[in-house]
Structure 1
Amino acid sequence: MSAAGKSLTVAAAGLATGALIAARRAKSRRSRTAPGDRWLTVTINCAPQDVQADKLPTPLQEYGDHIETRIRPAPGDRGTELAVRLRNGGPDAAHSVPARLAGADPRQDLRRALREAKSLLEAGEVLQSDAPPTTHDTPGGKLVGLLSRRAGGEGVL
């Protein structure tokens, strides 16, 4: 077999292997839990008996029967895990990215409510940063302000 024939065979084998790996990854992604079915969880610095499903802080009580809650001891005896998720599963994966970018994903509000509940259980109030952070309204400051408001729904900046 010529050198060109050998390299063509190696290239075809590599292409077939890559296609097989891609097919396996796609199949494993479909079998995972849908993004809307995921639990949102925080660890709270208090004993598990201090957090009761029927006496959750106001931000989570406002959801009523629209959320499921799960309360259990945190690993390593480090407080309590409080987990919540929307009962209807939230938006499907096809619509979640545009909704998240637009700030219209209902899970963003649930994340915010969960963080506020954590703050209320630990500190007795919802802690917020000082506003305005600077006295000069600059283009960079406006960008940081916009990103900070968006980050409230995602929990990260």
Structure 2
Amino acid sequence: MTSSGKSLMAAAAGLAAGAVVVMRRVKARPPAEATGDRWLTVTINRAPHDVQADKLPTPLQEYGDRIETRIGPAPGDRGTELAVRLKRPPPHAAHSVPARLSGQDPRQELRRALREVKALLEAGEVMRADAPPTTRETPGGKLIGLLSRRSSGEGVL
């Protein structure tokens, strides 16, 4: 067998393995109804008695009674776990992939608020990236700006 034939066989095997992984992930996902009311959780480096539901910082206070809150000790005695979720989960279309990519998923704002509360309780402030990062707008800078804005909703790029 020639080297190009071996390469073609290796590529086909890789493609088949990738397809198997994708199919397993699709089957392993919970139904859409179960994903809307998931708890969003952060571990805060503070003692459990320092974090109280009625004294949470402004980003979560703004949600008022639209969210449920759970506070408890973190595993391994490593601070406090703060968990929140929307009382009324968004409809399935609101937390679809296109909604997430366009920044229209209502859980993204709750994730952002939860991260800000963590920062406020641990450090007393929310650190932000310097703006503008460069003195002139470049294509690379525009891309980084877009990714930075999108990552604020999910917490990752």
CA contact 1:44–1:81 (8 Å) conserved in 2 = yes
Segments of structure 1 that go 5 or more residues without pairing to the other structure are 1-21
Task: Give the aligned CA root-mean-square deviation in angstroms.
Answer: 2.2
Q: How does 1:87-106 map to 2 (within 5 A)?
A: 87-92=87-92, 96-106=96-106
Q: Which secondary structure state, in structure 2, belongs to the residue aligned with residue 143 of structure 1?
A: helix
SS at match of 1:120: helix
In the aligned structure 1, how far is the partner of 2:95 from the partner of 2:33?
16
The equivalent residue for 1:53 is 53
How far is the alpha carbon of 1:130 from its aligned partner? 1.1
- CA distance in 1: counterparts of 2:106 and 2:75, whole angstroms: 29
- Aligned-pair CA distance for 1:95: 5.1
Determine helix, strand or coil for the equivalent of 1:70. strand
Alignment of 1:37-76 (within 5 A): 37-76=37-76
| Partners of 2:94 and 2:105 within 8 A in 1 | no
Structure 2 residue matching 1:85: 3-state secondary structure: strand
Post-superposition Cα deviations, 1:35-88, rounded to whole Å, max 9, x if no partner, equal 111111111010000000111110000000100111011111110010101001
Q: Please report how far the alpha carbon of residue 29 of structure 1 lies from its aligned counterpart in structure 2 after TM superposition.
A: 4.3
Alignment-derived partner of residue 131 in structure 2 = 131
Partner Cα distance (1:96, 1:75) in 2: 31
Deviation at 1:90, TM superposition (A): 2.2
Equivalent pair of 1:34/1:93 in contact (CA under 8 Å)? no
Contact 2:94/2:104 (8 A) holds in 1: no
8 Å Cα contact 2:60/2:113 also seen in 1: yes
Report the equivalent of 2:142: 142
TM-score normalised by length of structure 2: 0.77
User: The residue matched to 1:81 in structure 2 has which SS?
Assistant: strand
Shift of 1:126: 1.4
Structure 2 distance, partners of 1:130, 1:115, is: 18
Question: Matches of 1:92 and 1:83 in 2, distance apart?
Answer: 21
**One-letter amino acid of the structure 2 residue matched with residue 54 of structure 1:** D
Q: Which runs of 4+ in 1 moved over 6 A?
A: none
State how many pairs are aligned.
134
What percentage of aligned pairs have identical amino acids?
Answer: 77
